[in-house]
Structures are given as C-alpha cells and as structure tokens.
A and B are shown apart, each in its own frame.
Chain A
C-alpha cells in the first residue's frame, strides 16, 4: 500500500500539531491541574484520617479504690481501648488514660471532671461479697456512643482478667500460642495467601481502570478533533496536503501523546503525594506513618504498558472513523456511543473476571481484540498466564489494529467529505468502496 511508504514525516507533523493544540488548550491545562490536585489530595487521605482520630481523643481518668488489682490491669485496659501496642510510641491513641490510686483523690477528680479537664471519670471498686470488680463511669459522653462502648468492652476484659487472676491463672496463660502447621498439597499455589489476593485485586482493578479511563477520555479527544476539522472545513485543505492514513496516524499519535502527558502529570502527583505523606503526617499529626506499598511486578507493568498502548490505538482509530461521520461536534457523543458500549462491556467483564479468573469465558475473551486490553491485563495481574497466551493475545490485537487502520482510513476519507444529516455506516461503507 502506497500509504505506508509516505506515512512519515507528514503523520509526524500532524501529530505535533495535534499535540500542541491539545496541550495548549484551556481545558487540557485546567483539567490536568485539577486531576493532579485531586490525585495529590487523595494520597493524603490517610493523614487526614489519622489527624481526625488524633483530635477526637477521649481523656479518661481512672481512680482505683479496689485492692488486689491484677498487676497488668493498666495494660489490659489500654489495649482494650487503644488496640494492640504499636512499635511507635507517638502513634495517636483513641484514649488518653490517667491511672490514680487512693480513695482520698476521688472528690477532687470529680470536681476536675465537672470543670471539663477530662471527658470521663472511671471509679473501680471491689464488691465485698462477690469480690468482683465494680465500675462507676461518670461522663457526659453519649451513653451508646463509640467511646462508652469501647470503655465498656475494655472493662469486660479487665473483669475477666481479674477473675482469672483470682482463680490462679491469667489471660496470657490461657491464650498462649500452640502448634499448628499448615502444609499445602500443591506447592506452586503456596503463594496464594488471602492477603496477597486482596492487594493484587486492588492493583489489577486500578490498572484496568487506568486503561478504561485512557481509552474513553483520549479516544474521545481523537473523535472530537476529527469532527472539529470537518466542522471548520479545514479538512478540505488537509485532504490535499495529506493522505487519510497520515491524518489518522498523526491524530492518534498526537492525542495519545497528549493523553500520556496528562497521565504522567497525574501519576507524578500521586507519587509525589505518597512520598510527601510521611513528612506531612509528621507535621500534622506529629508521628510517623505512611502507606506501605508493595512493588509492581515487572511483568505486570510490562503487560500494562503494552496493552495500554495497543488498546488505545485500536479504539482511537475507530473513534476517528466515527468522528468523521458527523457534521457538527455536538453529534460526536451520539455517533461514538456504539464504541462506548463496547468499552463498557470490556470493562465490566474484566471487573467480574477478577473473581473468576480461571473460567473459560475469561480465557476466550482475553484473546478477543476489543476485550483483550482489559481481560489479558486482569489475567496477567491476578492469574497465571503462559508467555504464549500473552503473545497470542497481543498478536491478535496488533492484527486488529492494522485492519482497523485501513478500515478507519476508508471510512474517514469518505466520511469527511459527506456533509448533511447523520450518516449511517452503510452509506459510508458504500461511499468508501470507491474513495481512495
């Protein structure tokens, strides 16, 4: 085909023009800035959660009147209220405990409670008959609120501990570890622990959403730019200067590159946000914390990049073809709706497939060009994929791109010259048979 020989440099000039006009447009600049800010803010959510927790601490004073309390009473209560001790002594706690012994302090503390020096006063005594611990909680906190519930369940632990100590044992002794060995039958599946599945599912969903968003957003850019040229009639000048193949290739490359730029900026904001999380956390909450994020397996990353690029190419070529059928930019949305259905179908299939990765339908669909960008990605990131399976899927996708390129060039060269009412695909294909 003559088109291949002469694809460059014109396709390159078109791509550069597309990229510049896209990247300079106000919607691109504002959109990218907004997305980057949202992405950065999203990475700071854990800090916000910790900050909110730190500022909603309940100050609890405990006055102990009872004698013969278990030696680890304070730590049992602390663990019951604040959870297991962490390695970080500065980590924010839900409850700040003050432990006071002696009957004479009680009236003074009650005064302090009334003055609002702390939120709750707990008096621990011992029943002279049953020898059980008795608790008196004075507070204005909601009776059925989180704090009172937490205190009440922590006191249950303390009561049990006290009874066990009086019976001559302790919680620690009762809950002491014992031997349990789990031996997998198939050694290759040993990695499939529950924890791994949850995190890889999240990761795969994230990657699939990235592909989905790119195709929908940037594919639409291609369709819009075709419709814009047709609408402003600059197309007629372009048709004499370039071939439809050069135009298509340039548009797809230019808009794709602009899309990648936007993606790059947003992902940089995410990475920056994650890196900034620890220092910000320290400044705001006053302690160290941060999201632990596991590395992305290199093979998954490679598969993602390949499928992302090929998927975008396939869909954006079709977007360009459909964009050439409308006379006004306002009609692009409805003209491209069939593609939208296809994209959504692939997306939902892949989300469902994560729970059924070894089903036959998933395997078959992962070779079908329109769905393989999602489903093969899902399979690579969650399941086990043989190299030849991935290769075959990519090969079929690549072949479909070549077919789509020529089909799109045909539809496009006929479509851009036909003005008037919405054209049906049949009319265009008829016209396409005789156009160059």
Chain B
C-alpha cells in the first residue's frame, strides 16, 4: 500500500534526467520533491504518471504497475498551467472529469462546490481566457482533483500565487490529506516544505541525494545547530575557536553556529558558562532544510538547466 519508485532512470539525449531513482512514499503522506530547476522533479512526476516511460525501472502503486493502473488513479497539476482558452470554466472542468469517468451531473455539482469554496462561483460561465492567472491556477487545481484521485501530483502548486490564494490552496491541500489522499508536490520553497511535508527527497541532476522523513533528512548530516546570545558580548569571538564549532551567522538577536558530528552541542553552553557569560538565549536545533539543501546541492542554482537545448554555451 505505498508508492514505490524502483531504480528509475531516464535520459533525454545528452541530459540524464533521472538516474537510478528509488523512493518509497507512504499512502496518505505529504511528500515533497526538492531540487533546483532541471533537477528532474517534473520528469519524475511524469514517469509516475506514465506520461513518460523510463529507460529502466518501475513504478508501483498499491502493488500494481503504473502502466496497468487506470488513469483516474492520479490527479495531476502540471507546472506549465494551461486551459482551453475559449471554453467556459464549468464546461471544461466537466469535460476533464468526464474523461476520468465521472458522470456529467456529479462533475457539475462538484465543480460548483469547489468554485464556491475558492470564492469564485461567478466564474463558472466565463471563458478561461477572461480569468486572472491565480484564478486559472485554482481552476486547474479543481481539474486535478474532481475525479477523486488516490494520488495527487502537483508541480510547483504554489508558485505565482498571492498570499491569500496560497492560503486557500493550502487549505484545500490539507483537506485532500484528511480525505486520505497521497500528496506529492515539487517546490523549491523550503518554508512550504517544512510546513506541509512529512517526507521529502532532494534531487540533484537526476540523483536522489537525500530522502526520508523531514526529521531524518534534517538530522542526516549529524550536525547540530546552536544559537547563543549573551549579555554584553555581540561578537562572541571565542565561539569559533571551540573544537568542532563553526559560526554560520552573526546577528543582533543571536549568533548561530554549527556543531560538527560527534561533538556535544552542550559543550558550547558549558564554554559560555565557564567564561562567566550571562546567557540571554540558548537553543539547539537540527539544521534547516535550506541548509541541508545547500549542503547537498551546493547552492540554490538559479541558472536554468532544462531539457530544452541551449542556444549558445561558453
């Protein structure tokens, strides 16, 4: 009863989009794919959906190969948002639902319900091209869930939305989780992942560099973070001289340092006390996902590395 991605590889010409990717996603879980642009998140989702066949490897849901499963198993919100521009909203949502085997009447009722919930019931009879981008995105979300899929895959679902719509969509997102759906989404917004996900996988150039529960991933390096602030000493110059401790951030509130694996974070507190400092703030924590991500991927790569061939290369 889980989604098993087993040693999936996929190459497009020169680009190795996925390399020996293996993941297990528990049913009812919220799972996040993290990675820079071109890391293979979209390809991984398309392989799961059987839109793209991998060069090798299999995808199994509920003990069945994805190639054997009915299409209505999946709900998909693609990264590239698109609707039939000239078709009215209700008509096209009913059309998409019918393709997944939902009866017209039911599809219409569900559509109106969801439009109501997203506070856009008056858009049912408008053409898609008359809607704002954010509202089109909500329509697409409805299109992805109308047929009550078991697994919902969403590619960058929150990108390009204003905070109000992000909140609306997150609410719908969590409701799907409450209904027992398995949710998989990709993003490069770390806060969203920490807020919503139970498990994640960080992809880099087609390889899963780290995966598992968010807690395990954050502990995967063995490092601990320490945040310290003392009375009358903003610099804390002595902190960097401690064995296995590296200062990562200095600030007005506190100074943050990283404690190498095998060293006791408590030793920082002891050192501070032995220096006679008055402690204002002391905190131990796992590294943030962002730090983990940077550690594994190097840095958040802002250059495009997509499958489209590059025009010119230095």
Contacts and interface: CB of A to CB of B under 8 A. Distances in A.
B71 interface: yes
B52 A417 contact: yes
Interface string A394-436: 0000000000000000000000011111000000000100111
Interface residues of B, number: 33
A143 interface: no
Contacts of B52: 417, 435-436
Nearest to A235: B82
B309 A242 contact: no
A436 B50 contact: yes
A233 B71 contact: no
A57 interface: no
Contacts of A421: 309
B75 to A, nearest CB: 8
B51 A434 contact: no
Contacts, number: 74
Interface size class of A (residues with CB under 8 A): 20 to 34
Interface in B59-104: 67, 71, 74-76, 78, 80-87, 95-96, 98-100
A241 interface: yes
Interface in A234-257: 234-243
Given A10-B99, A242-B71, A242-B99, A233 B309 contact: no
B225 interface: no
B216 interface: no
Contacts of B86: 21, 25
Contacts of A420: 308-309
A326 to B, nearest CB: 14
Contacts of A241: 71, 96, 99-100
Interface of B: 12, 46, 49-53, 55, 67, 71, 74-76, 78, 80-87, 95-96, 98-100, 140, 143-144, 307-309
| In the complex, the 7 A-B pairs of residues with the closest C-beta atoms, listed nearest first | A233-B82, A236-B78, A234-B82, A233-B80, A241-B99, A240-B76, A420-B308
16 contacts: A9-B98, A10-B99, A13-B95, A233-B80, A233-B81, A234-B83, A234-B84, A236-B78, A236-B82, A237-B143, A237-B144, A239-B49, A241-B96, A419-B308, A421-B309, A436-B52
Interface of A: 9-10, 13-14, 17, 21, 25, 229, 232-243, 417-421, 431, 434-436
